[in-house]
Protein backbone atom coordinates (compact mmCIF):
# COMPACT_ATOMS: atom_id res chain seq x y z
CA UNK A 1 0.00 0.00 0.00
CA UNK A 2 1.09 3.52 -0.72
CA UNK A 3 1.09 6.38 1.76
CA UNK A 4 1.81 10.08 1.38
CA UNK A 5 2.70 12.29 4.33
CA UNK A 6 2.64 16.07 4.27
CA UNK A 7 3.65 17.37 7.67
CA UNK A 8 3.14 21.10 7.09
CA UNK A 9 -0.53 22.02 7.50
CA UNK A 10 0.23 25.65 6.66
CA UNK A 11 3.08 27.73 5.31
CA UNK A 12 3.72 31.43 4.80
CA UNK A 13 6.08 32.90 2.23
CA UNK A 14 6.88 36.45 1.25
CA UNK A 15 6.08 37.41 -2.31
CA UNK A 16 9.03 36.86 -4.69
CA UNK A 17 10.76 34.44 -2.31
CA UNK A 18 11.14 30.69 -2.77
CA UNK A 19 9.31 28.12 -0.65
CA UNK A 20 9.65 24.37 -0.17
CA UNK A 21 6.66 22.16 0.56
CA UNK A 22 7.53 18.81 2.09
CA UNK A 23 6.30 15.41 0.98
CA UNK A 24 7.41 11.96 2.10
CA UNK A 25 6.03 8.73 0.78
CA UNK A 26 5.99 5.05 1.52
CA UNK A 27 5.68 2.26 -0.98
CA UNK A 28 7.01 -1.20 -1.63
CA UNK A 29 6.83 -0.71 -5.41
CA UNK A 30 10.12 -0.26 -7.26
CA UNK A 31 8.43 1.78 -9.96
CA UNK A 32 6.12 4.62 -9.02
CA UNK A 33 5.22 8.19 -9.87
CA UNK A 34 4.91 11.29 -7.74
CA UNK A 35 2.65 14.21 -8.56
CA UNK A 36 1.95 17.65 -7.14
CA UNK A 37 -1.39 19.40 -7.51
CA UNK A 38 -2.56 22.90 -6.60
CA UNK A 39 -6.08 23.50 -5.34
CA UNK A 40 -7.17 27.16 -5.22
CA UNK A 41 -10.23 28.21 -3.27
CA UNK A 42 -12.33 27.53 -6.39
CA UNK A 43 -11.82 23.81 -5.74
CA UNK A 44 -10.28 22.63 -8.99
CA UNK A 45 -7.24 20.37 -8.73
CA UNK A 46 -4.52 21.69 -11.03
CA UNK A 47 -1.67 19.37 -12.02
CA UNK A 48 1.73 21.00 -11.51
CA UNK A 49 4.58 18.53 -11.89
CA UNK A 50 5.47 14.83 -12.17
CA UNK A 51 8.49 12.80 -11.08
CA UNK A 52 9.04 9.17 -12.02
CA UNK A 53 10.96 6.92 -9.66
CA UNK A 54 13.45 6.05 -12.40
CA UNK A 55 13.87 9.59 -13.69
CA UNK A 56 17.52 10.54 -13.43
CA UNK A 57 16.94 14.26 -13.09
CA UNK A 58 14.68 16.22 -10.82
CA UNK A 59 11.57 17.46 -12.60
CA UNK A 60 11.11 21.13 -13.37
CA UNK A 61 8.12 23.02 -14.80
CA UNK A 62 8.56 26.76 -14.96
CA UNK A 63 8.71 28.09 -11.38
CA UNK A 64 8.05 24.61 -9.97
CA UNK A 65 10.76 22.08 -9.31
CA UNK A 66 10.77 18.82 -7.46
CA UNK A 67 13.55 17.95 -5.03
CA UNK A 68 13.44 14.16 -5.33
CA UNK A 69 15.50 12.21 -2.81
CA UNK A 70 14.75 8.56 -3.47
CA UNK A 71 16.74 7.11 -0.59
CA UNK A 72 14.90 9.36 1.85
CA UNK A 73 11.56 8.75 0.08
CA UNK A 74 10.93 12.46 -0.20
CA UNK A 75 9.60 14.54 -3.08
CA UNK A 76 9.50 18.15 -1.98
CA UNK A 77 8.01 20.84 -4.17
CA UNK A 78 9.99 24.05 -4.59
CA UNK A 79 8.19 27.15 -5.82
CA UNK A 80 10.53 29.91 -6.85
CA UNK A 81 9.68 33.62 -7.00
CA UNK A 82 6.34 33.20 -5.19
CA UNK A 83 3.37 35.15 -6.50
CA UNK A 84 0.15 36.14 -4.74
CA UNK A 85 -1.69 33.74 -7.04
CA UNK A 86 0.28 30.85 -5.58
CA UNK A 87 -1.80 31.05 -2.41
CA UNK A 88 -3.67 27.73 -2.39
CA UNK A 89 -3.69 24.19 -1.03
CA UNK A 90 -0.94 21.96 -2.41
CA UNK A 91 -1.24 18.19 -2.53
CA UNK A 92 1.42 15.58 -3.07
CA UNK A 93 0.20 12.32 -4.61
CA UNK A 94 1.63 9.02 -5.72
CA UNK A 95 0.79 6.30 -8.17
CA UNK A 96 2.07 2.79 -7.62
CA UNK A 97 3.80 1.16 -10.56
CA UNK A 98 1.93 -2.09 -9.97
CA UNK A 99 -1.47 -0.41 -9.84
CA UNK A 100 -3.22 -0.97 -13.16
CA UNK A 101 -5.93 1.52 -12.24
CA UNK A 102 -3.48 4.44 -12.41
CA UNK A 103 -5.30 6.02 -9.47
CA UNK A 104 -3.53 8.55 -7.26
CA UNK A 105 -3.16 8.43 -3.49
CA UNK A 106 -3.06 11.91 -1.95
CA UNK A 107 -1.54 13.43 1.15
CA UNK A 108 -3.44 15.74 3.47
CA UNK A 109 -2.06 18.87 1.85
CA UNK A 110 -0.28 22.08 2.78
CA UNK A 111 -1.99 25.46 2.72
CA UNK A 112 0.36 28.09 1.31
CA UNK A 113 -0.23 31.77 1.91
CA UNK A 114 1.86 34.27 -0.02
CA UNK A 115 2.28 37.60 1.75
CA UNK A 116 2.59 40.82 -0.28
**Piece of the chain touching other proteins by CB under 8 A; list 12-20, 27-35, 62-70, 76-84:** 27-35
Cβ neighbours around 77 below 10 Å, total = 27
Smaller CB separation from other proteins, 17 or 111: 111
Please tell me whether residue 102 binds other proteins under the rule CB under 8 A. yes
Q: Please state the closest distance from residue 112 (CB atom) to other proteins, in A.
A: 14
Label residue 101 left, alpha or beta by phi (over 0 means left) and psi (-120 to 50 means alpha): alpha
Smaller CB separation from other proteins, 15 or 62: 62
Label residue 83 left, alpha or beta by phi (over 0 means left) and psi (-120 to 50 means alpha): beta
Please tell me whether residue 52 binds other proteins under the rule CB under 8 A. yes
* Residues making contact with other proteins (CB under 8 A): 4, 6, 31-33, 35, 37, 42-47, 50, 52, 91, 93, 95, 97, 101-109
Amino acid sequence: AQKITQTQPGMFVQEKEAVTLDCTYDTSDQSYGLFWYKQPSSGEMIFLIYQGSYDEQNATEGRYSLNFQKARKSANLVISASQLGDSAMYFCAMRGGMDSSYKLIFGSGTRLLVRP
